[in-house]
Amino acid sequence: MSKKRSAHLGARTIAPEDIPNVQKTKTQSVLFALPILMVLAGLLFHFSKQRSELHALPIMEEVVMVEGVFERVISYGKKEEKKYFLEMIVDEKSKNIHLPKTSVEQVQTLQSGQVIAVMAAPKISGSQSLWFVSFTEEGRLN
């Protein structure tokens, strides 16, 4: 007697333990996707907050006076989207204050190492990001 060959060469029987557990793969998919979704939601929240801060006005009730040594004006970004910061040394630490485009020329007259006092305010209540309002040098308000 000869053994009967299968019509499909190389075909094999699949054991029940070889079949993936559908419930397990769904759970794994959710566990894999959840951190990605959380990161995307966090980025969306961060950039929407940043956008609202960009177009708001400083909250004058929360103005603070920051005294220190002027270092320089920093700019970065593309020409039409350039952002400016006033860098100064406060208590031996570097501090950057957002600088509106309209105030850049006003601050360009300062020299590095000059002692100044800057009035700055957040655009969102409670924010640590400060936006330039005005500054004083040698007793003159600018």
CA distance linking residue 88 with residue 133, whole number of Å: 15
**Residue 71 domain-assigned (yes or no):** yes
What residues make up the domain containing 32? Answer: 16-54
The pLDDT, as a whole number, for residue 86 is 92
Give the predicted TM-score (pTM) of the model: 0.60
Q: Are residues 39 and 66 in the same domain?
A: no
Q: Are residues 35 and 71 in the same domain?
A: no
C-beta atoms surrounding 103 within 10 Å: 19
Q: Are residues 36 and 65 in the same domain?
A: no
Q: Are residues 47 and 65 in the same domain?
A: no
Per-residue pLDDT reduced to its tens digit, 15-35: 666 666 656 677 888 888 899
Q: Are residues 97 and 126 in the same domain?
A: yes
**Residue 73 domain-assigned (yes or no):** yes
- Residue 8 φ/ψ, nearest 5 degrees: -100, 110
The pLDDT, as a whole number, for residue 88 is 92
Q: Are residues 41 and 94 in the same domain?
A: no
For residue 121, what are the β-bridge partners? 131
- Residue 75 φ/ψ, nearest 5 degrees: -130, 145
Torsion of CA 24, 25, 28, 29, to 10 degrees: -150
